[in-house]
Structure 1
Amino acid sequence: MVSAEFTEKANAVQNLTKKPTDDELLKLYGLYKQATVGDVNTTKPGVFDFKGKYKWEAWEALKGKSQADAEKEYIAYVNELLAKYAA
């Protein structure tokens, strides 16, 4: 179960005035999935599903990290992105 602050940050990141880089978005995705689901629980997408593969790999890289730690990292990372892209 995620905190209210996590939910607030997840909503805030949807409203950034500038789009983060692809690497930043992948890091956000991986932390979000690890915080909300835990370790990756799907098979790796096929070789031609580039976007799906990169997202899966970003999540897989966090395997073993607790959901609580991933949530804290996600909140801190969103704060960085808000400072960088919300102005």
Structure 2
Amino acid sequence: MTLVEDFEKAAAEVKAFTKKPTNEELLSLYGLYKQAKDGDNTASQPWAVQVESKAKWQAHEDVKGTSKDDAMTKYIALVDQLRKTYA
């Protein structure tokens, strides 16, 4: 399987977890997923009162500069790690 196929499989697997990962883990998954799909974050920073939007923006911003392939690889590794707890 190619890296993209492995990435898509991992993304589908997250949706099938039987338990919900922690918010921190979900934000890590979100940031890596966005980086793999869209590249560096170019959105303007949300207002501080927009707590959920700001957290997601920050998660994506935290992986800025990571190549799409590296983001996919890290995402797959994180899903492999989380599978032991949540699958």
Q: Same fold (TM over 0.5)?
A: yes
Task: Output one character per residue of 1:35-69: Cα deviation in whole Å (capped at 9) or x when no partner.
Answer: 11100021111121100000000110111111110
**Alignment match, 2:51:** 50
**Alignment match, 1:28:** 29
> How many angstroms apart in 2 are the aligned matches of 1:4 and 1:47?
36
TM-score of the pair, normalised by structure 2: 0.93
Query: Gaps (5+ residues) in structure 2?
Result: none
> How many angstroms apart in 2 are the aligned matches of 1:14 and 1:68?
21
Q: CA deviation at 1:19?
A: 0.4
**Alignment match, 1:82:** 83
Runs of 4+ aligned residues of structure 1 deviating over 3 Å after TM superposition are: none
Q: Per residue, is there more helix in 1 or in 2?
A: 2
Equivalent position SS for 1:52: helix
Q: CA deviation at 1:15?
A: 0.8
Task: Output one character per residue of 1:2-57: Cα deviation in whole Å (capped at 9) or x when no partner.
Answer: 71111111000001000000000000000000111100021111121100000000
Query: Gaps (5+ residues) in structure 1?
Result: none
Query: What do you get for the CA RMSD once the two structures are aligned?
Result: 1.0
Identity over aligned pairs, percent = 46
